[in-house]
């Protein structure tokens, strides 16, 4: 049951809602889920059923066991036809992302087709823990390149700087020439980097658990 409680917390984070909002969505009284999460106690089976019914794309197996993709596999498909889906490169953004653009021989491992992510330019891997629990190591992320002027403060971006690559929430900096890079995981600190150091910016459209 501890696994289910943890996965309910992950679901709320992925949806960008509070546990209270999730309780309201499934018709549970206030505190039904939050108390269980706080105390590590069981919840009734009817609330698990209510979660699955309210989130039809959610994999019941993932919710119950943590195994497999978070989304049902019939919603996320792999294609080897270039015209279907967006290319998936089997490299991680932080460690090997430059290979995609700097190595002309780089080819995608396959294409990924996920409803709701049609605007993705490409997919790649995630490493690191700074964006947990919303984005977890082993997830793959959907990216779409944008410009500095397109940045919507408070949203998540994958940024290539002159010396590092990172995935963070971007916010206004202490001066107009810098941006704040904000992690979700509170074990990590915020940082500021000069806008002039930014080489490329990608909007993170979302992430899914690796399913292939």
Range of the domain at 164: 77-209
Please report whether residue 39 resides in a domain: yes
Shared domain for 51 and 91, answered yes or no, is: no
pTM of the predicted protein model? 0.64
Please report whether residue 189 resides in a domain: yes
pLDDT in the model for residue 66: 79
pLDDT in the model for residue 80: 55
Shared domain for 116 and 43, answered yes or no, is: no
Q: Picking from 99-103, 129-133, 171-175, 203-207, which range would have the lowest pLDDT averaged per residue?
A: 99-103
**How far is the C-alpha of 5 from the C-alpha of 2, rounded, in Å?**
5
Please report whether residue 72 resides in a domain: no
Tally of domains in the chain = 2
Shared domain for 8 and 91, answered yes or no, is: no
Q: Is residue 71 over pLDDT 60?
A: yes
Q: What is the mean pLDDT of residues 134-146?
A: 90
Shared domain for 164 and 133, answered yes or no, is: yes
pLDDT in the model for residue 39: 86
**Which tens digits make up the pLDDT trace of 107-118?**
778 888 877 788
**Which tens digits make up the pLDDT trace of 46-64?**
888 888 888 877 888 888 8
Please report whether residue 71 resides in a domain: no
Shared domain for 61 and 82, answered yes or no, is: no
Shared domain for 81 and 59, answered yes or no, is: no
Q: What is the CATH number of the domain that holds 45?
A: 1.10.260.40
pLDDT in the model for residue 152: 93
pLDDT in the model for residue 196: 97
Residues counted in the chain: 212
Shared domain for 61 and 84, answered yes or no, is: no
**How far is the C-alpha of 89 from the C-alpha of 186, rounded, in Å?**
29
The domain boundary residue, chosen from 65, 87, 111: 65
Shared domain for 136 and 182, answered yes or no, is: yes
Please report whether residue 55 resides in a domain: yes
Q: What is the CATH number of the domain that holds 94?
A: 2.10.109.10
Shared domain for 56 and 101, answered yes or no, is: no
Can you give the three-state secondary structure of 134-186, one letter per residue?
CCCCCEEEEEEEECHHHCCCCCEEEEEECCCEEEEEEEECCCCCEEEEECCCC
pLDDT in the model for residue 56: 74
Q: Picking from 66-70, 142-146, 189-193, 198-202, which range would have the lowest pLDDT averaged per residue?
A: 66-70
In this prediction, residue 73 has a pLDDT band, given cuts at 50, 70 and 90, of low
Structure tokens at 147: 């410009």
Structure tokens at 132: 């947990």
pLDDT in the model for residue 62: 81
Q: What is the pLDDT of the chain when averaged over all its residues?
A: 84
In this prediction, residue 190 has a pLDDT band, given cuts at 50, 70 and 90, of very high
**How far is the C-alpha of 188 from the C-alpha of 186, rounded, in Å?**
5
Shared domain for 53 and 95, answered yes or no, is: no
Shared domain for 93 and 44, answered yes or no, is: no
The domain boundary residue, chosen from 65, 89, 111: 65
Shared domain for 113 and 204, answered yes or no, is: yes
Higher pLDDT, 51 or 83: 51
């Amino acid at each position: 049951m501890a696994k289910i409680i943890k996965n309910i917390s992950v679901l709320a984070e992925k949806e960008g809602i509070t546990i209270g909002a999730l309780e309201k969505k499934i018709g549970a009284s206030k505190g039904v889920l939050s108390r269980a999460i706080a105390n590590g106690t069981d919840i009734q089976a009817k609330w698990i059923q209510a979660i699955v019914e309210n989130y039809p794309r959610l994999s019941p197996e993932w919710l119950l066991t943590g195994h497999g993709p978070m989304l049902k596999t019939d919603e996320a498909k792999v294609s080897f036809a270039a015209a279907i889906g967006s290319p998936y490169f089997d490299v991680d953004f932080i460690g090997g992302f430059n290979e995609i653009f700097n190595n002309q021989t780089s080819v995608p491992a396959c294409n990924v087709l996920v409803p709701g992510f049609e605007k993705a330019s490409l997919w790649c891997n995630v490493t690191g823990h700074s964006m947990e629990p919303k984005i977890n190591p082993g997830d793959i992320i959907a990216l779409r390149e944008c410009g500095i002027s397109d940045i919507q403060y408070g949203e998540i971006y994958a940024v290539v700087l002159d010396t590092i690559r990172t995935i963070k929430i971007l916010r206004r900096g202490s001066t107009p020439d810098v941006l704040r890079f904000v992690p979700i995981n509170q074990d990590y600190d915020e940082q500021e980097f000069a806008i002039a150091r930014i080489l490329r910016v990608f909007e993170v459209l979302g992430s899914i658990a690796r399913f292939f």
